[in-house]
Structure 1
């Protein structure tokens, strides 16, 4: 037998694409599944959340009590509110807000053999001074105060004497310090005790109770020693930003979630918070949900800290914002529901609500009113948006007698629902109206916009 001269035929090697393609499909499918599983998703809308009422929402929020930044009630309220938005199908982003707040650590007023406890006025930084007690007449100017010999002495006055003068605590302190006062004692004898912020002056600025004030007032003119201790702490809160994953902030609904010290903040501003929640509920499962952000700002009562931080961090998306609707104090019918609106938005507000009350911000010419700082005009969270050229509508029912007081305990769920419904209808009108956005960065003058 002869040896074979040729090798037997063999099976040809398969082309590279035949094994590379299945491998690519497997890898691509795995990556696609991972990407789909890991990318942000809108939470499912819970049917029970859609049927909740403003009354139920208020009972839930009310349980946490006062909500000043840094308090337990504030933090629990934040968590609860975030859960309410998620139940409506909105992912919630928590934007950190950090600030410093003063805490009273006690004080005393000594006049001769009399010694009474004193509490620092909110915002003051404490101190210790000696001087003669000089009684101030109601409504006195700084010149009139100085004429009474206040320079180098300690001012003494009562809440009732200034309550009817339309003068804030800040005005009182500024007049007294301009007149040369080394401190201030305010007898807290008003029926409703309001918390108003005063300048962070390194002087003892205190209040004493009406009972102790009755003992001190007859001693006006005598030498006194005034001591006030204040601790300043850094506290942290959050802006809550509720928005669908793909939603653009063409319309932004806003309200502040914090309250002043010791106040449950029913009207100021649980009412605005619940109105925003009501608007989010109405928008769920509608096209509006994909064109709106719902934002609860923190630390408004400390000088619009949260809204300023929000605007600073979201300059680029705010170029798409047609209107910012701010709801503040809408749960007590002091006056009919009213608006202070951008000139281009006011006709839309009147079309949605014929005869709507139109007002101008009373604080437009003031630097600060009732503890709220201002750069342009107004005293609520629409102000930082105005600074960046965003059109705003301030929705408001006026100041009630329990404003910034421990007696701010009640609100009307029906009025809250009405305000939220008005805001939704106004948002829809804004989105339907022609609008030409500014050129890129016009009005956003800061670097990085």
Structure 2
């Protein structure tokens, strides 16, 4: 009898083999995702217990904060540590720019030879010409009538300090009148560090004692040498936000200061106000709707805020308002706000009697803050992309852009932070129709 073949087990369907494998891959993938996705750092009780006064004690120890200087790097690290301690994930956005570095120079008149320093922002150079003394208040035409064209202007700070002109405007007049160089005798009680245009001419200052010796040589021919090196430096915007946060509110201030100034009011006060605001909203719903941003390179031409806006154009469509805090620690004037027309009535509801002022940035921003009480600050690039802004400011105090900008009022900083948060909350409560800031443009990010 023939042997019958035994029945065989049917082959297992492919899905039965694949299912366990997919499960393993799913578990592994999920674990990898959970292990690599951005996480919010834990909120530290010590960070929440800090105060504005304590923050200022630590921040001022770093000294001046121009981009590229040691104090600037220390301030960046310290500020990031404070924000992370409050439970915010901090992203560093590189900000690259060129800055002038003064390498010294000399003024030679006959047998007299004195050291000179470049005016803040000047480009340096070498020129020879007659020293033409200029008294205060002269117009460009009057300067030229004194024979300034092709020569070197000689000015005393005390002759010009009572006028309405900034140093940059005075220097601009002299250059427009044909000066090939300028010597500023710093004999005022307060030595300001106001920025001048980066004209490739020797624009220098001398101290009061050397200045008197130079002034005695007015009318004589002089050789002026100013050595300035432009270096590329890289700073960073600090963008602090909860992982889940959308930038419905952008609350910011600039971290850098001018050369040789600890920048207490301009703008450690704004930095401390942002830290105080971040501290107050940590763990609240507002933390999920706010980005806290410390901008870099403001003093050199709003580099940080321009970099931030260019990189986040699409996300900024969600932004109801950008609140900028600049110079809020000294009571030169009552606390004020320059705000978008839709935000002014909201600001007045939040704080009846708040000082409203107009901020009129120059049409062609070239080298930082303009003259006047309002000037230009980091809200300006946001305006260019249709974002409503509120510029919180207490006016220009006597130590503005000077080495003597060393003090601030923690109470005024705290008050500015409280107003900024109240304005943010009220703005979020109000109806709002998003605008399309990129409409009509085809550039990247739109």
Same fold (TM over 0.5): yes
Determine which of 402, 416, 419 is the counterpart of 1:419.
416
RMSD: 1.9
Paired residue secondary structure (1:219): coil
The alignment's TM-score, normalised by the length of structure 1, stands at 0.95
Using the TM superposition, give the Cα deviation of residue 417 of structure 1 relative to its aligned residue in structure 2, in angstroms: 1.1
Aligned residue in 2 for 1:344: 342
Paired residue secondary structure (2:390): strand
Aligned residue in 2 for 1:393: 390
Aligned residue in 2 for 1:260: 258
Determine which of 52, 55, 58 is the counterpart of 1:57.
55
| Kept after mapping to 1: 8 A contact 2:263/2:406 | yes
Change in CA separation of 1:95 and 1:188 when aligned onto 2, cut-off 3 Å? same
Aligned residue in 2 for 1:326: 324
Aligned residue in 2 for 1:209: 207
Aligned residue in 2 for 1:66: 64
Aligned residue in 2 for 1:232: 230
Aligned equivalents of 2:332, 2:119: Cα separation in 1: 27
Aligned residue in 1 for 2:381: 384
Using the TM superposition, give the Cα deviation of residue 405 of structure 1 relative to its aligned residue in structure 2, in angstroms: 1.1
Using the TM superposition, give the Cα deviation of residue 14 of structure 1 relative to its aligned residue in structure 2, in angstroms: 3.9
Aligned residue in 2 for 1:200: 198
Aligned equivalents of 2:442, 2:17: Cα separation in 1: 56
Using the TM superposition, give the Cα deviation of residue 11 of structure 1 relative to its aligned residue in structure 2, in angstroms: 4.9
Using the TM superposition, give the Cα deviation of residue 13 of structure 1 relative to its aligned residue in structure 2, in angstroms: 4.3
Aligned equivalents of 1:441, 1:300: Cα separation in 2: 24
Aligned equivalents of 2:204, 2:369: Cα separation in 1: 20
Aligned equivalents of 2:123, 2:437: Cα separation in 1: 43
Aligned residue in 2 for 1:372: 369
| Kept after mapping to 2: 8 A contact 1:196/1:371 | no
Using the TM superposition, give the Cα deviation of residue 167 of structure 1 relative to its aligned residue in structure 2, in angstroms: 1.0
Which sections of structure 2, spanning at least 5 residues, go unmatched?
Answer: none
Which sections of structure 1, spanning at least 5 residues, go unmatched?
Answer: none
Aligned equivalents of 2:270, 2:178: Cα separation in 1: 41
Using the TM superposition, give the Cα deviation of residue 58 of structure 1 relative to its aligned residue in structure 2, in angstroms: 1.1
Within 5 Å, give how 1:22-61 maps onto structure 2: 22-61=20-59
Aligned equivalents of 1:58, 1:402: Cα separation in 2: 18
Aligned equivalents of 2:398, 2:419: Cα separation in 1: 25
| Kept after mapping to 2: 8 A contact 1:91/1:242 | yes
Paired residue secondary structure (1:118): strand
Aligned residue in 2 for 1:133: 131
Change in CA separation of 1:444 and 1:354 when aligned onto 2, cut-off 3 Å? farther
Change in CA separation of 1:142 and 1:209 when aligned onto 2, cut-off 3 Å? same
Determine which of 286, 296, 299 is the counterpart of 1:288.
286
Aligned residue in 1 for 2:241: 243
Aligned residue in 2 for 1:307: 305
Aligned equivalents of 2:282, 2:430: Cα separation in 1: 22
- Using the TM superposition, name which of 16-25 and 141-150 deviates more: 16-25
The alignment's TM-score, normalised by the length of structure 2, stands at 0.95
| Kept after mapping to 1: 8 A contact 2:386/2:436 | no
| Kept after mapping to 1: 8 A contact 2:66/2:257 | yes
Determine which of 429, 434, 442 is the counterpart of 1:437.
434
Aligned residue in 1 for 2:99: 101
